[in-house]
A and B are shown apart, each in its own frame.
Chain A
C-alpha cells in the first residue's frame, strides 16, 4: 500500500521516500486510534521497503511533533476497570507500541524524524527510533513521565541511553525538564537544527542525499551501528507495569486530566 490516509496519520511513498505524517489534534497524542494506524503502517513497511531508501516521520500540526501518550484516554480507560484488567490492558498496549517502534527502529531504510514544537514523552520516544532527528528551532524535548509516577514506556530510556551519555539521560528523566532544539543538538541528540517550519524540507534534502548510496551498504552500516536494546526494552515494560499499579499513578493521571492549570504540559 503506497498510500494511506487515516484518522490520525497518513503515509505516501514517492521517489523512494516514505513520508509518514502525523495528523491528530491537538498534538498527535498516541491513543488506540493512532496505535492501530501505526500498526497498519508497520505491517505495510516490509513491502514499502522494497521501493524506498528513506522514511521521514513528521507532523502536520504546528503545535508539535507529538505530545506523547493520550493520557486522557488512558485515564478514562482505566476508570471502572479492575486494577488487574487495567494493568493487563496497559501491558498489551505497550507490547503493541513496542512492536511498532522496533519495526521502524530495525527497518533497513534510513529513517528521519523531522520534528517541530512539542516532542514529549511518547512523541520523543517515536523520534528516538529514527536514525536522524532534524529539528525545527522551536522543537522541545521532554520526558515528563515521572510527574505521573511513571517512567517512559515506549522504549525511550533504552534508546536514549543508546544514543547519549548517561548524565544527559538522567537529567532528562529525573528532572522532567524540557530541552530546546539547540540544547538537544549540543548534547548530540539532534543532527540538524533548522529554521521555524523548515524541518520537513531539510529532512527531504537529507533523504535525497541518502538515495545516492547503495541500499545494501547503508542497511549494513545501520545494522552494525544501531543495535536494538531488546533486553532493556523488555525490562522497561516490566518496570512501567509495576509502577502503573501504584496509587500515585492514578492520582497523577487524575490531576493531569482534570487540571485547570494553564501549564499541564510543564513538569
Chain B
C-alpha cells in the first residue's frame, strides 16, 4: 500500500522558506503571486495490514510536529 503524507505549516506560522520562494518567483518576473507556503511530502510504502490508526500515529508522533504543522494522509493505492 502506498501512502502519501502531506505536511504543511499551520495558518499563522511564519514560513521564511515560502517567503523566500515568493520573492524569488517575483524576481524572475512572475506576477500575481499572493502568497507561498512550503510544505513536505512523505511517501510511505506499507504492508497491507498496517492499520489507519497506526498510520495516523506515525504522523502524530514523528512525521508532523503538531505545534506548528498539520498533516493529511492520502492513500494512493
Q: Do A and B come from one complex?
A: no
By a beta-carbon cutoff of 8 Å, the part of chain B in contact with chain A is none
